[in-house]
Amino acid sequence: MSSALLIEQLLNGLQFGVMLFLMAAGLTLIFGVMGLINLAHGSFYMIGAFACAAVAAWTGSFWLGLVASLAAAAAAGAIVEILVVRRLYERDHLDQVLATFALILIFSEGTRWLFGSFPLYLDIPPVLSGAIPLPGGAQYPLYRLAIIAAGILVAIGLYLLISWTRIGMRIRAGESDREMIGALGVDIGSLYTLVFALGAALAGLAGAMVGALQSVQVGMGEPVLILAFVVIVIGGIGSIKGALVGAVLVGLVDTLGRLLLPKLFAIAMGPSEGATVGAAVASMLIYIVMALILALRPQGLFPANT
């Protein structure tokens, strides 16, 4: 195996991790501030992708599509928060799971109604098409590098927002004592709507960016949602730092596992059987890693609010 392939797969894993971070950051923020488990987060990812694909097809500009994806996902998030989710904060997790499960059904079926059952396709913008050379002679798509860069920028932006701005201060205060900041005159209701819309917008951005790599279709959000759950469980629910570390870890472990495990098992068991077993184990690898981490640290790597 060449080093170029390894570097390429490392970058793929990093890109996957960055995308998971965008999903997980919103989920963990919503859980941390409002104590809500939101299954419908994958729907915002889907809405972002569909909005981007539809607007890009209509105007011909990927960038307008990207703006539309942020706006559509944030708007959907705000509407959902005001109409439904607001009533769930005081309920137990079971009610939250069910209500947001119902939202998935509504969003998926509604999107299928609007756009039909056929997948949409989104082209990579011309500026970012093409590839750049890697050390070792291989080429790597520029667009995937741009996703990595965008993810890193969002991570820095979130850090600055939460650590250095007044809104961030209120979000942190909301995490530690929601009644107290309410008593201090902060409008908790609109703070919650804002946090929910922010999380939804991040998911929408992730969906739009990945939409240019895969097809845009109903049900695309849920596999990513479940991986994002794994990420925040590993990282510690409520911790953005944990989400970043967990996302990169899951991205790398999954991508490299799929590359290396079939080869490793092939050495041990012979080529054909080893490749099959290796592929099966690789598809379970991140869950095995999650189980190991939880067996050692049940609250995740960076427990928040303790």
Contacting residue, 127, 153, 180, 280, with other proteins by CB under 8 A: 280
CB of 144 to other proteins, least distance (A): 24
Q: How many residues sit close enough to other proteins to count as binding (CB under 8 A)?
A: 41
CA distance 172 to 169: 5
Which of 62, 192 has the CB closer to other proteins? 192
CA distance 74 to 48: 9
- Cα–Cα–Cα angle for 178, 181, 183, rounded to 5 degrees: 110
CA distance 157 to 92: 32
Side chain identity, residue 104: I
Backbone angles phi, psi at 141, to 5 degrees: -60, 135
Give me the 21-60 binding string for other proteins, x by CB under 8 A, dash otherwise. ----------x-----x-----------------------
Contacting residue, 126, 135, 137, 298, with other proteins by CB under 8 A: 298
CB contact at 8 A, 27 and 232: yes
Backbone angles phi, psi at 224, to 5 degrees: -70, -40
Which of 193, 208 has the CB closer to other proteins? 193
Contacting residue, 160, 226, 267, 268, with other proteins by CB under 8 A: 226
Asked if 106 interacts with other proteins (CB under 8 A), we say yes
Asked if 284 interacts with other proteins (CB under 8 A), we say yes
CA distance 256 to 301: 21
**Residue found by looking up tokens 């849920």 in the block:** 222
Asked if 272 interacts with other proteins (CB under 8 A), we say no
Q: Where along the sequence are the contacts to other proteins (CB under 8 A)? A: 31, 37, 84, 87, 93-95, 97-99, 101-106, 108-110, 112-113, 222, 226, 229-230, 232-233, 237, 276, 279-280, 283-284, 287-288, 290-291, 294-295, 298-299
